[in-house]
């Protein structure tokens, strides 16, 4: 999978929604910013949690965006790999398969 192309395509898909459903889009963006702001947990740890949920939910776009966010927040490949281990523990085979996608995304987006 080409992660840069995937995220570019998703961004194109979201553009009309952001225009046509502006209130929802702005609300989601505000929630995103508030939830990932540093607090008792760092933004890096919150991005790793979001990535774990994206892998568990088998959401490719979530994986791509939260890998990018985790990288921006300073996550290392080893930290993402350990996060994948926890997802596999909690999710079994699907976590393993989508965890591999998260590692591929990290390699392509870093």
Fold of 3-13+42-109: AhpD-like (1.20.1290)
Cα(19)–Cα(35) distance, rounded to whole angstroms? 23
Q: What residue ranges do the domains of the chain occupy? A: 3-13+42-109
pLDDT given at position 107: 98
Q: 3-state class of 95 per DSSP?
A: helix
Cβ burial of 38 (10 Å; 0-12, 13-18, 19+) is exposed
pTM listed for this prediction = 0.94
Can you tell me the mean pLDDT for 56-77? 98
Band the pLDDT of 61: cuts 50, 70, 90: very high
Question: Would the CA dihedral through 70, 73, 78, 79 be positive or negative?
Answer: negative
Give the whole-number percent of the chain exceeding pLDDT 70. Answer: 100
Q: In sequence order, which residues have a C-beta less than 8 Å from that of residue 18 and are 6 or more positions away?
A: 25
Torsion, Cα of 48, 51, 53, 55 (10° steps):
-130
């Amino acid at each position: 999978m080409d992660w840069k192309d995937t995220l570019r395509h998703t961004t194109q898909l979201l553009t009309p929604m952001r225009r046509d459903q502006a209130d929802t889009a702005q609300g989601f963006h505000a929630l995103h910013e508030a939830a990932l702001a540093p607090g008792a947990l760092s933004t890096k740890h919150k991005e790793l949690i979001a990535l774990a949920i994206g892998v568990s939910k088998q959401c490719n776009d979530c994986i791509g965006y939260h890998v990018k966010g985790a990288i921006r927040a300073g996550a290392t490949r080893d930290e993402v790999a350990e996060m994948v281990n926890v997802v596999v523990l909690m999710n079994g085979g699907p976590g393993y398969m989508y965890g591999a996608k998260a590692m591929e995304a990290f390699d392509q987006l870093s």
